[in-house]
Amino acid sequence: MALGLSRRVKEIAPSPTLAIDAKTKELIAKGEDIVNLSVGEPDFPTPKGASDAAIAAIEAGFTKYTAPAGTVELRQAIAAKLQAENGLTYSADEIIVSSGAKHSLYNAFIAVVDEGDEVILQAPYWVSYPEMIRLAGGVPVIIQTDESTGFKMTPDMLAAAITAKTKAVLLNSPSNPTGAVYHPHELEALAEVIAKHAIYIISDEIYEKMVYGPEHVSIASFSQTLKDRTILVNGFSKAFSMTGWRVGYIAADKQLVKAMTSFQSQTTSNAASISQKAAEAALDHFEPSNIEMFRKRRDYVIRRIQNMPSIHCEVPEGAFYVFPNISELFGKSYQGKVIDSSDTFAAVALEQANISIVPGSGFGAPNNFRISYATSQQNLEKAMDRLENFLRECR
């Protein structure tokens, strides 16, 4: 383009999941029978109570601007949820509702990160974190984790990464893409390290409901000091299967929320009024049987993978992903095509075996790939049969 682009956007890495997604859609459009394990959204429907509330909102003409931070009713309902489920006391003015948790996270980085500030996060990470930190002018400082610590950082790893420039530590438990969950004692040990320094904690708890081992705990619940510096991020996309409605939120110190509200008021304004009504109703319609279904699917996928060659896998305790390691496969070939990275693995698996999965490279984990089991049992069976045959034919 003759007139060029800003340095800021030129430096954004395109989402690595998009390439695989585009190719998957292209093949499906051509009539190929692809099993898609690359989607990051639940396959169950939005609760009817939420959809009904949205229809009622439209019919009642609730279709205008709301307060930039969201309706008082929704913020009060979120505060009640945080009290009942997380043991955290927030008032409505300590909560800001945004257009999805992704938007909430971006507001958070803008509010606390200055040019050159460091934000610590672990790899494997959700693809958008490093890019959003960079967009805010910050420097992502990545702690590499792998299977040896269950894809979790240890207190020593965290302590070694903190410098005078550290502004925040980003936590994501349960994790996308690994499904790893920090147990309360592990979080407490990290909290002890953090408490010694003047740094924020950005805690992305969007998968909190999807846990199959110990219950989810928020780091903000350990002490008032930790709560004061935690920016708790959550949303409706995963727990209520409301990805398209775009509602996320932050609970944090009042001054921080005020600053994020000013920023949001000058950029995007409020989350859609109708979606806010749907979200408020959704809080009364959580469906625990969906979580039980996810647990069964996770168990099935893990059982199958454990019987396949050249692949091994941690048992994830949360989210709806498994994150197998395929480094043993590198150097082998499938029908003449050499597999030398998780990217070639994903490309060959899609083109030759009709399974769409996401390579780990974009998550900072080049030896792994991500399977989303947010799809039917029938699809999972088909996909696991294909994956097994594929791996057995690699030599």
Ligand X SMILES: Cc1ncc(COP(=O)(O)O)c(C=O)c1O
Asked if residue 205 binds ligand X (CB under 6 A), the reply is no
Q: What is the torsion angle, in degrees rounded to the nearest 10, for the CA atoms of residue 115, residue 119, residue 124 and residue 126?
A: -70
H or E element in which residue 334 lies: strand 333-334
Nearer to ligand X by Cβ, of 132 and 380: the residue is 132
Integer-rounded Cα radius of gyration of the chain:
21
- Return the residue of 20, 37, 38, 40 that touches ligand X, per CB under 6 A: 40
Q: How many residues bind ligand X (CB under 6 A)?
A: 13
- 3-class SS at 183? coil
- 3-class SS at 340? coil
Would you mind telling me the total number of residues written for the chain in this entry?
Answer: 395
C-alpha span between 361 and 346 (Å, rounded) = 10
- Return the residue of 126, 320, 345, 363 that touches ligand X, per CB under 6 A: 126
Nearer to ligand X by Cβ, of 92 and 101: the residue is 101
Asked if residue 317 binds ligand X (CB under 6 A), the reply is no
The two structure tokens encoding residue 183: 């147990």
- Return the residue of 168, 206, 293, 387 that touches ligand X, per CB under 6 A: 206
Asked if residue 370 binds ligand X (CB under 6 A), the reply is no
Nearer to ligand X by Cβ, of 100 and 138: the residue is 100
- 3-class SS at 97? strand
Please state the closest distance from residue 1 (CB atom) to ligand X, in A. Answer: 29
Please state the closest distance from residue 264 (CB atom) to ligand X, in A. Answer: 14
Please state the closest distance from residue 236 (CB atom) to ligand X, in A. Answer: 7
Asked if residue 120 binds ligand X (CB under 6 A), the reply is no
Binding mask 248-267 for ligand X (x = CB under 6 A): x-------------------
Q: What is the torsion angle, in degrees rounded to the nearest 10, for the CA atoms of residue 221, residue 226, residue 232 and residue 238?
A: -40
- 3-class SS at 71? coil
Nearer to ligand X by Cβ, of 204 and 280: the residue is 204
Q: Among residue numbers 220 through 239, which ones bind ligand X (CB under 6 A)? A: 235, 237
Nearer to ligand X by Cβ, of 112 and 308: the residue is 112
Question: Angle at CA 141, nearest 5°, toward 215 and 325?
Answer: 60
List Cβ neighbours of 10 (8 Å cut-off, separation of 6 or more): none
CB 140 within 8 A of CB 87: no
Please state the closest distance from residue 102 (CB atom) to ligand X, in A. Answer: 3
- Return the residue of 172, 270, 276, 354 that touches ligand X, per CB under 6 A: 172
State the pairing for strand pair 369-372/358-359: antiparallel
Asked if residue 268 binds ligand X (CB under 6 A), the reply is no
C-alpha span between 242 and 47 (Å, rounded) = 9
Asked if residue 130 binds ligand X (CB under 6 A), the reply is no
Q: Which amino acid is at 390?
A: F
Closest CA to 345 of 374, 320, 366, 316: 366
- In the bound state, the residue with its beta carbon closest to ligand X is 100
Nearer to ligand X by Cβ, of 125 and 334: the residue is 125
Asked if residue 316 binds ligand X (CB under 6 A), the reply is no
Please state the closest distance from residue 242 (CB atom) to ligand X, in A. Answer: 8
Q: What are the b/e assignments for 134-150, b being 16+ CB within 10 Å?
A: bbbebbbbbbebebeeb
The two structure tokens encoding residue 158: 């965290």
Asked if residue 367 binds ligand X (CB under 6 A), the reply is no
- Return the residue of 86, 176, 368, 375 that touches ligand X, per CB under 6 A: 176
Nearer to ligand X by Cβ, of 24 and 172: the residue is 172
Nearer to ligand X by Cβ, of 354 and 372: the residue is 372
Question: Angle at CA 257, nearest 5°, toward 255 and 258?
Answer: 65
C-alpha span between 88 and 219 (Å, rounded) = 10
Q: Among residue numbers 63 through 102, which ones bind ligand X (CB under 6 A)? A: 100-102
Please state the closest distance from residue 372 (CB atom) to ligand X, in A. Answer: 10
Nearer to ligand X by Cβ, of 248 and 316: the residue is 248
Nearer to ligand X by Cβ, of 90 and 125: the residue is 125
- Return the residue of 118, 204, 280, 314 that touches ligand X, per CB under 6 A: 204
C-alpha span between 162 and 120 (Å, rounded) = 8
Interface positions with ligand X (CB under 6 A):
40, 100-102, 126, 172, 176, 204, 206, 235, 237, 243, 248
